[in-house]
Structure 1
């Protein structure tokens, strides 16, 4: 992709994530258009439609769908900052020969670290005991907990995040199982051909799956029932993977011991039943929220822009 760089190269930023940072760090000739919160974003795009070749998007922002692509007839590249691409109509982009690049793998270590932290907090009831101490009710909770070493952990999704997570669970002397469509013979952990068998085999079930129709509500009442009354569910993938109504029922009826969630189906909305439960530990989609991950995403985005325009 080449363009006369004596003129500004307009780059629409369609999502809120790192929008401010991108606007401040993109050098000339790039001219960021921070339109993600503009009600008249279509009007802004129309003004520059003949010159826009690249857009930057992220989950929770403006969708890059067929309608938006129609507005930008010269669009050739979509840079999705996150690991997933829920905000992009991938089939439509492919049909139009528009390249889509994501940030898959960049924050895998960061997400895995949060998943480990949530597991420890949930299993050791750290979040509950913290409140007990703050309320000057030292020792109120006398419920004993089990050690994690030796317990069985299952990972649904063995991509970059899943593998980073498995290595850390290994180091904690936990037994690691995983579910994926095909076995990865190079990996030392036990493979399961379906999620139900994985849930039945483990004490802690981690979800590191992408969103989309293929995984929508993959974790429902049957999987939660298989996980069992002593089992924990930890989701650091996508919220749409979990049937949140089924999860609420499983928690209310003690079909599982607890759930730690960094993602939700309709963010930023979190079901009241999950908020009210003392069996949940909740985060605001902060798995990749580290200085290091943000820096790497910004650097990679600039490199991709420079490469796209042969700068």
Structure 2
């Protein structure tokens, strides 16, 4: 008789093929909605040995307390800011993530947003469809040969820097501390980086420490010919300050894949000039999602085999 499969609670949306892949190895309860989540924790909380979530959906201390058999929690993707790590540590619950699985996808999307914003691609597309020729339009500036400031030079930030170098961009960055393995210019202050840069790309983790790191002074330092891109977490940018800066002409434009109101769209930005918005898809592609699911399976396999996680958190 085969041993029972470990009970797994999945709190995020998965493609049918990926859910089938996971279900082949675990006894899955699928709860990607708030209502389903509450119902599953209440009805089956005592049985779950593993949870699959992500940084946005997270896992609360109350939910952890309702799962006395819980051994491992994994985030699909790199973010884990809404998983209660303290509650996990107190119980000895292993926590892993999908670090590295979607870095290239996120970096690609960051550059796509930056190019689309600087070269005003969406506005030019709309004008073309309306029959407006270039003579009646303001010309977008050159993209190459400028200064790219990156807030957060982790694995994703470094991939963005690599892509920027392909456009002959000079790279500067802000981090908690300077990195010894790069030759890029280091700025201890975000405002100083913004004043230096033509483009500012946000690639830092979310959470209380970085909330509204980019606010009115930083946006003014970036200036009317500067461009902001955020592919990190919506909480890092003060949305109201961004809207004010764009309407006042204090910022050249912004490309956002994340925002404070998500999953609701940032309606306060809808009437702002030169804003490009995407629905938090920077890290999502068929290749990246499959890699993240595969890394979850490897993390969980290692845990239940008594081995260290492939990508541990903390």
Asked if these proteins are the same fold (TM beyond 0.5), I'd say yes
CA-CA distance at 1:109 after TM superposition: 0.8
Aligned partners of 2:104 and 2:159 also within 8 Å: yes
CA-CA distance at 1:46 after TM superposition: 4.2
Aligned partners of 2:247 and 2:273 also within 8 Å: no
CA-CA distance at 1:38 after TM superposition: 6.0
| Superposed CA offset, 1:129-177 (max 9, x none) | 1011111222364312322222011000001110000011111111000
Is 1:156 equivalent to 2:125 in the alignment? no
Q: How many residue pairs get matched?
A: 306
Q: Which residue of 1 aligns with 2:52?
A: 56
CA-CA distance at 1:188 after TM superposition: 1.6
TM-score by length of 1: 0.93
CA RMSD of aligned residues (A): 1.9
Is 1:198 equivalent to 2:193 in the alignment? yes
* Counterparts of 2:22 and 2:136, CA distance in 1: 52
* Counterparts of 1:114 and 1:29, CA distance in 2: 32
Q: Which residue of 2 aligns with 1:226?
A: 221
Partner of residue 21 from structure 2, selected from 19, 25, 28: 25
Partner of residue 45 from structure 1, selected from 38, 41, 56: 41
CA-CA distance at 1:60 after TM superposition: 4.2
CA distance 1:86–1:141, change in 2 (3 Å):
farther
CA distance 1:35–1:135, change in 2 (3 Å):
same
CA-CA distance at 1:100 after TM superposition: 1.1
* Counterparts of 1:249 and 1:49, CA distance in 2: 46
* Counterparts of 1:49 and 1:142, CA distance in 2: 59
Aligned partners of 1:202 and 1:227 also within 8 Å: yes
CA-CA distance at 1:37 after TM superposition: 1.9
Aligned partners of 1:22 and 1:32 also within 8 Å: no
* Counterparts of 1:146 and 1:38, CA distance in 2: 45
CA-CA distance at 1:186 after TM superposition: 0.9
Q: Which residue of 2 aligns with 1:8?
A: 5
Partner of residue 251 from structure 2, selected from 249, 256, 259: 256
SS across alignment from 1:39: helix
Q: Which residue of 2 aligns with 1:86?
A: 81
SS across alignment from 1:248: helix
* Counterparts of 1:5 and 1:232, CA distance in 2: 58
SS across alignment from 1:206: strand
CA-CA distance at 1:26 after TM superposition: 1.9
CA distance 1:250–1:142, change in 2 (3 Å):
same
TM-score by length of 2: 0.92
CA-CA distance at 1:83 after TM superposition: 1.2
Match runs of 1:288-299 below 5 Å: 288-299=283-294
| Superposed CA offset, 1:211-240 (max 9, x none) | 100000010000001101100000011100
* Counterparts of 1:58 and 1:120, CA distance in 2: 28
* Counterparts of 2:17 and 2:81, CA distance in 1: 22
Partner of residue 71 from structure 1, selected from 44, 66, 70: 66
* Counterparts of 1:236 and 1:141, CA distance in 2: 32
Unaligned runs of 5+ in 1: none
